Amino acid sequence: MNLVIIDTDIFSEIMKAKDNNVISNSMKYIREHKKFTISSMTILEIVKGFRKIGNEGKLKNFISRLNHVNVLNLDSVSAEISGKIISDLEKIGQPIGLADSIIAGIAIASNLPVVTGNTVHYNRIIKLGYDLKIENWRINN
């Protein structure tokens, strides 16, 4: 399996351990790579979600496990790419939101595919000509 950045939707499914295809793919990935790789935007989205519903227990559990994942951060290169993606999508009237645009920018700058179930958003970026690769672990590979 390729080294990848795991999008928030799939990382959430890994934590819930309910989708058999996601579980199978994540177990294969961990056997090969030892740790998941996520972006700092995934941390932001998950923390926001747990805070919004008032689930401090799950939030603390999530935070305590962050030392078991590799986290890629927004830097000047990925920020530039993300800004271009946001602008280009807004110009054609198809914005996808800040988080997915930043995750895509980090993935492109890191030359890593994004694992996501949200292929519609990321395919918009690909259609604009960006060198973004996506994988969907919800599908049996």
Structure tokens at 7: 């999008």
Tokens 């927004």 sit at which residue?
74
pTM confidence score: 0.94
Residue 87 host element (H or E): helix 76-91
Half-sphere exposure in the Cβ direction for 64 (13 Å, CA): 6
Average pLDDT score over the chain: 96
pLDDT tens digit sequence for 8-66: 999 999 999 999 999 999 999 999 999 999 999 999 999 999 999 999 999 999 999 89
pLDDT tens digit sequence for 72-113: 999 999 999 999 999 999 999 999 999 999 999 999 999 999
What's CA 121's distance to the chain center, in Å? 12
pLDDT tens digit sequence for 13-24: 999 999 999 999
Q: CA angle, 81 as apex, 101 and 74 as ends, to 5°?
A: 70
Q: Domains plus CATH for the chain? A: 5-135 (3.40.50.1010)
Q: What is the pLDDT of residue 141?
A: 59
